[in-house]
Structure 1
Amino acid sequence: MFVKEMSRQECYEVVASGDLARLACCKNDQPYIVPITYALAGTHLYCFSMPGQKIDWMRANPKVCLQIDEFSGKCKWRSVVLTGQFRELPPAGGRYSERLDAWSLLEKRVNWWEPGGLKPVPQQISGASAHIYFSVDIDEMSGRQTSEVEAGSS
């Protein structure tokens, strides 16, 4: 088994076919990583969350990183890491239509609201929706995958 670099197109295919990523954010030199469900549209990953630490941290520092893996056997995998910018899609204002697009893409996924909608402690009931939709606008993407052939050989 060998590990080789993936092309941008191969990386995009992994991201497009997946729906679960690990989102890493950072605040005051402290990293934080959580699983999120996403839907890809062009160069944007659309996501959903309830208020909490990751949202607070991304509002303070919008630079994020995501890892998306695809496994098809014990020694057969592809892994993509992408960097990008958090961008909140509020229910009012200029991003409302994009928020609706995000919702329509996410709702096609089974249990799309997990894990972003589940919290380990009871939440206060509010008259206003606490749902937060956001985009990660992709800046860079790279990946690696296993191969039975050494990279560069035919």
Structure 2
Amino acid sequence: MDAAPRSDCPINQAVEVLGDPWAMLVLRDIMFGDRRHFRELLTGSAEGIASNILSARLRRLVETGLLTREDARRGQRAAYSLTEAGVQVLPIMVALGSWGLAHRAGDQRLRIRAELLRDGGPELVGRFMDELRELHLGVARPDPCAPRAADEIRGAYEAALRNEPIEE
């Protein structure tokens, strides 16, 4: 299972789980792309993850308690879901995206999701976390009438990729 951490420092322990770039990108694709199956994650990876790397990262994310794997019956595909610990990685992703916006150049179209989450603040992040809990954990959203954050984020991201104006 898990090897003993190098130290009991909480930063070290978080880095040992989340410090692998592929792990964070797999979590990103599950959170933002709603990719739940191996093939979707493999073919949808903008960074071109290799199948053996993806398999190893999914296994590690399940072992560390960030994902669950629903075993598939014959003829079906296994589905991956975020755990509560996995949902709570979202604010870390937002912080990483905000840092990247401030300190790294990149394709403007690919920056839109990070900009929306940064500018939307804790309210948008909280709504999105509630939606992830509903989708992955079956927990009803506190305000089912609230606008869906995922739709807002996904719509702006897809419009940016098509070079369309973003609706406010």
TM-score normalised by length of structure 1: 0.25
Higher percent of residues as strand: 1
TM-score normalised by length of structure 2: 0.23
Question: Greater relative contact order (Cα 8 A, min sep 6): structure 1 or 2?
Answer: 1
Higher percent of residues as helix: 2
